[in-house]
Amino acid sequence: MSESNDLKEKIRVLEKELARLKGDCQQEVSEATVLLQDEVSRRTRNMKAAMEQAAQANKNKSAFLERVSYDLLTPMNTILGMTNLVLETELTVQQKRYLELVSVSADNLLGVINKILDFSKIELGKLEFKETSFNLMETLEYELYAQELKAKQKGINLLVSCEPGVPSVIECDEARFLQVVSNLVSNGISYTSEGEVLLDISFKGYSSDGQHLLQVSVADTGIGIQPAKQQVIEESFKLGAVPPSGES
């Protein structure tokens, strides 16, 4: 009988000790949970603050780029305009060649400024599309004048093909259209050492609301893009990233 009582007493002691340990564990878990929650909240606040600071810094950078780009546009347009006016006067062959180089360089720099301006507008959410009517071939002839000079300097041909059915006057965002075409043509000339660069404009029918559908493509006899790099470029566009500069 005594042994039975001793056993019961030991069981009660063990149960009491287990209950105490269970309580201690629950207390420790509760305290650890509170500490973890506090740490998560602290890190979340810090991350949010860092993200807000980064967003503000990025916004300030974009605003600065936009302001500087506008400040550069006026003198660059003046340089380009005055250079082209001088090119229309009587000049020696050497003078004309020098001024043509100035015109091409100024036009290229103007293109860079416009790209920076567009980039800053995109980040600030200010990029807008404005549709205007303009004569397609006349506008392209003027826009690609500097590119044609660049092509001639490299000993290659810049050709423009406009298929039947393409209207003489089109309506779209002229600045964006010319920017895309100019970039494509410029890339073609940059990576072509011999042969030609062809800008082709073709008529592809009408949209559901009766608008002309045009296809603009640029082909060249340059080095092209290696198959292994094509996938990289496609993925970069999908991710919204800019491919690293260099030879394609």
Q: How confident is the model at residue 242 (pLDDT cuts 50, 70, 90)?
A: very low
For the ranges 55-59, 94-98, 224-228, 233-237, which has the lowest average pLDDT?
233-237
Structural contact between residues 163 and 137, judged by C-beta atoms closer than 8 angstroms: no
The pLDDT assigned to 219 comes to 93
The 3-state DSSP class for residue 201 equals strand
Q: What is the mean pLDDT of residues 3-12?
A: 73
Is the pLDDT at 216 greater than 60, yes or no? yes
**pTM for the full predicted model:** 0.53
Single-letter amino acid, residue 195:
G
Q: Which pLDDT value is given to residue 237?
A: 52
User: b or e along 148-158 (b: 16 or more beta carbons within 10 Å of the residue's beta carbon)?
Assistant: bbbbeeeebeb
Side-chain-side CA neighbours of 81 within 13 Å: the count stands at: 6
Which amino acid makes up residue 86? V
Pair 201, 163: CB distance under 8 Å: yes
The residue among 236 and 241 whose pLDDT is bigger is 236
Residue 247 has pLDDT above 50, yes or no: no
